[in-house]
């Protein structure tokens, strides 16, 4: 959320001038929780935008550089479960290691996804909001929409 209480939006409009979809993300006002929406032409780009949107909700990533690489693999039967598993990994790394991904490179693998997460120490980044504590299933959605892939996810803060 922007500091003035409105939704903070990152990335471009949902459509390029040529009619093709473009990726982006935004935080959406939600009582006592964090809600992030992301969109992109591909499932993997949408996942990357969701990760970035969650992280930008509580730290300033402008100019942040990943100092470590984490290779993670998550398995899931549905796209929604895949989104939850990836964001659970983000929350876990923040809680257990004090790290936050400044960039994510997801790639499909049979039965799930492999992602390269470029991590920075959270203590080196300016805090902009409350850190997420857990991913919830309330209002969870992830799938192909009219203009590409779209997701919405709520996290407890």
Give the per-residue pLDDT at 29.
Answer: 65
What are the average pLDDT values for consecutive 10-residue runs of the chain, which has 157 residues? 40 44 79 91 97 96 94 96 97 97 96 97 95 94 93 95
Give the per-residue pLDDT at 96.
Answer: 97
44-83 exposure pattern, b = at least 16 Cβ within 10 A, e = fewer: bbbbbbbbbbbbbbbbebeebebeeebebebeeeebbbbb
Give the per-residue pLDDT at 32.
Answer: 76
Give the per-residue pLDDT at 36.
Answer: 96
What is the secondary structure of 47-76 as a DSSP string? HHHHHHHHHHTTB--TT----EEEEEEEE-
Q: Any alpha helices (H) in the chain, and if so which ranges?
A: 43-56, 79-97
Give the per-residue pLDDT at 6.
Answer: 36
Question: Chain centroid to CA 43: how far?
Answer: 12
């Amino acid at each position: 959320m922007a500091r003035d209480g409105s939704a903070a939006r990152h990335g471009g409009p949902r459509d390029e001038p040529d009619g093709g979809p473009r990726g982006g993300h935004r935080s959406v006002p939600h009582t006592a929780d964090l809600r992030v929406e992301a969109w992109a032409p591909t499932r993997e780009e949408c996942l990357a935008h969701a990760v970035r949107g969650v992280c930008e909700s509580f730290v300033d990533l402008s100019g942040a550089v990943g100092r470590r690489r984490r290779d993670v693999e998550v398995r899931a039967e549905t796209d929604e479960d895949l989104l939850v598993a990836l964001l659970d990994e983000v929350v876990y790394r923040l809680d257990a290691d004090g790290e936050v991904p400044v960039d994510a490179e997801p790639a499909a693998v049979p039965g799930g996804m492999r992602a390269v997460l470029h991590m920075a120490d959270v203590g080196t980044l300016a805090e902009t909001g409350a850190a997420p504590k857990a991913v919830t299933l309330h209002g969870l959605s992830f799938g192909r929409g009219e203009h590409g892939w779209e997701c919405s996810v709520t996290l407890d803060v």
